[in-house]
Amino acid sequence: MKSSLKKSAKHSLKLGKRLQQIEKMATSEEYGHIWDCCCDHGLLGCALLNRQVEATISDTSSDMPVNIVSNTARNKDSDIHFVDIVPELMAELENKLQRFYSSSLNTVIAKNWQTHCLDVAKLPLDQYDGKHLVIIAGIGGDLMIKFIEAINQQHKSLAIDFLLCPVHHQFSLRSKLIELDFSLIDEVLVEENQRFYEVLLVSSSSAAESRVNSKINPVGDKIWLSDPRTQLTIDSSGLSIKNSKEHSRKVSLSQAEIADKYLNKTLNHYQRMQKGLQQSNKQDNQQTKTNNVNVDVQHIIDAYRAVILPVLVN
């Protein structure tokens, strides 16, 4: 019975590092509803449904380790909402979901997903009870800002968590989240196919309201391991982080290298942008100078230059 359920109701997926990280962070808390926005082909949402299949199988297994049962069951009753504004994509996704997660295969899982062909800014969150997680990935931070502002304005009475992975304009996005008084739950830096992605799990509740979450840093905090008292120590057992209180934890050298590469790449990007603006201002007339004054990025350069990476010590 277990094997037949697994084969018939679980769609085989292969996620990249970015989506794997988003999936992991999406299941770190308990949510009644998870909204996979700009879902494209629905890979992330299907991965979350697969976790529910595994949890169902775990519940029927007497020899399953307790820790595995608890991990997979955390969001087994979450409703997964697939959202995109493109009708053709949603029709294709609806067919796929019916094929792999229909009631004839798994009655429980079939009740836990819905598709919505609509603008992300108009999510009907107030029509559903429970805690909400809104996942927005694969678009720029500028468009992400518009969606978040609209959702936040429409649902001021709801405490909403957002899981965000912008492809660019990360600084602008973080600045807007700070302006909205959102708080940080977690953040991770991921490298995939020579591209870097910041993944932010934030709450519409402020840090003061949550008492657990922290304030959002405009250039990031955890993604750099940026404790000025921190050193990275390499020994025979691997790489560990040790601070002034002599507490240590293991990290991978590759993650430290990723942070270093990302910081250099980001600084180079804004320095080129600033240089181009300065040259343009010299060549253009006074009207153009006036238009360009608000796009000066020196404050962004200064903010990233202030980031302190851990020091590698042999």
pLDDT in tens, 67-103: 333 444 455 578 999 999 999 999 999 999 999 888 7
Q: What is the DSSP string of 44-66?
A: HHHHHHHHHHHHHHHHT-SSS-H
Contacts of 22 (CB under 8 A, 6+ apart): 44, 135, 137, 163, 165, 199
Average pLDDT over residues 43-63: 76
Percent of the chain with pLDDT over 70: 74
Q: Quote the pLDDT of residue 210.
A: 86
Question: Predicted confidence band at 246 (pLDDT cuts at 50, 70, 90)?
Answer: very low
Beta carbons within 10 angstroms of residue 273's beta carbon? 15
Helix (H, G, I), strand (E, B) or coil at 153: helix
* Dist. CA 158–CA 160, nearest whole Å: 6
- Averaged over 243-249, what is the pLDDT? 47
Angle at 139 between CA 273 and CA 307, to 5 degrees: 50
Give the pLDDT of residue 279.
Answer: 81
Single-letter amino acid, residue 194: Q
Spatial CB neighbours of 314, under 8 Å, sequence gap ≥ 6: 234
Please give the CATH topology (third level) of the domain spanning 2-222.
Rossmann fold (3.40.50)
Report the distance separating Cα 101 and Cα 46, nearest Å. Answer: 9
Q: What are the tokens at 233?
A: 């120590």
pLDDT tens digits, residue range 94-128? 999 999 888 766 776 778 999 999 999 999 999 99
Distance CA 200, CA 220 (A): 9
- Sheet strand arrangement including 311-313: 248-251, 238-242, 231-235, 311-313
Residues 39/137, Cβ–Cβ less than 8 Å: no
**What confidence score (pLDDT) does residue 62 get?**
43
Q: What is the mean pLDDT of residues 144-160?
A: 96
User: What is the β-pairing status of strands 132-137 and 113-117?
Assistant: unpaired
- Other CB atoms closer than 10 Å to residue 193's CB: what's the count? 7
